Amino acid sequence: MKNFFIAFFIVFFVASCNTDRTSSNLELENLYNKYGVEGCFLLKSLNNEQTYTYNQNRCEQGFLPASTFKIVNSLIALETGVAGNENMLMKWDSVQRQFSAWNKDHTLQSAFKVSCVPCFQNLAVKIGVENMKLWTNKLNFGKMDVHPDNLTDFWLKGNSEISPFQQLNFLEKLENAELPVKPSTVHRVRNIMKIAVDSSGLIMRGKTGWAIVGQRSIGWFVGSIERPDGERFIFVNNIEAKLGAIPDKDFMMIRKSIVYEVLKSMQVL
């Protein structure tokens, strides 16, 4: 942990502490400008409750959750029995879609990894409107606007919203097993969320998201880091750019690139 704080002061992401001892401001404007996006960033140590924030005003604003909602969708499906486990088979409907990875059978786990929208749309239908309303409220995941006519896309367009701070709070409860679901459900979802495990035993979990609102692209990368030394962190990155200003593939990568740069510079990774 000592190296973490040394890095905090020596890298160009300079922090200035405010009156709250558990909250510090990160200066990441140059990093976001380098990638040609607006955005905000949150990092919290679950060991000492320290939170690091870039662009607090944006962190308090609500945005469509996009595919970060797949975390919640998975939790609800597993908790309610719609999905028996992460290996539940999700049959392809034979409709050809733009992403080849979607055009095949999936398990819940593999569908999550390739962010298979039609798979999770089918899951939402099986969950149903009333259960979806009930559980999104129970899980306190922002403000989801769920109706019979938008059950398959309320997280992708419309009036649903969650702020970066709300994402952070939700992730903290997930990581601390404080959500109102069975421990087995938490275990399965955290397993589904694994992105990487390195040779030291460090584990990264997370989910990306991408929504188009008017002429703006909104991107997310949210998740957690579990280190072999026992340190645990959660992070939220939210970015925005004018639609078409950045090639789609680049925009998708930028969501992750910013996270990796910040975490490496602060020696979280």
pLDDT tens readout for residues 98-153: 899 999 999 999 999 999 999 999 999 999 999 999 999 999 999 999 999 999 99
| Residues 125 and 252 placed together within one structural domain of the fold | no
Residue 232 domain flag: no
Core vs surface per residue 162-199: b (16+ CB within 10 A) or e: bbbbbbbbbbbbbbeeebebeeebbebbbebbbeeeee
| Residues 100 and 183 placed together within one structural domain of the fold | yes
Reported confidence tier of residue 241, pLDDT bands at 50, 70, 90: very high
| Residues 76 and 56 placed together within one structural domain of the fold | no
pLDDT of 130: 97
8-60: pLDDT as tens digits: 433 434 444 444 447 788 999 999 999 999 999 999 999 999 999 999 999 99
Residue 234 domain flag: no
| Residues 123 and 17 placed together within one structural domain of the fold | no
Domain around 25: 1-42+51-60+243-269
Reported confidence tier of residue 3, pLDDT bands at 50, 70, 90: very low
pLDDT of 23: 74
Helix 117-127 to helix 129-138 angle (10° resolution) is 100
Catalytic residue among 67, 163, 217, 224: 67
> Is there a contact between 198 and 191 (Cβ–Cβ < 8 Å)?
no
For residue 118, which phi and psi values (nearest 5 degrees)?
-60, -30
Q: What is the CATH number of the domain that holds 125?
A: 3.40.710.10
Residue 236 domain flag: no
| Residues 71 and 32 placed together within one structural domain of the fold | no
DSSP per-residue letters across 148-170: TTSTTTTTTSSS-BB-HHHHHHH
Residue 114 corresponds to which amino acid?
V
Quote the number of domains for the chain. 2
Residues near 252 by beta carbon (within 8 Å), at least 6 away in sequence: 208, 210, 219
What predicted TM-score, i.e. pTM, was given to this entire model?
A: 0.91
pLDDT of 17: 41
Catalytic-residue membership of 67: yes
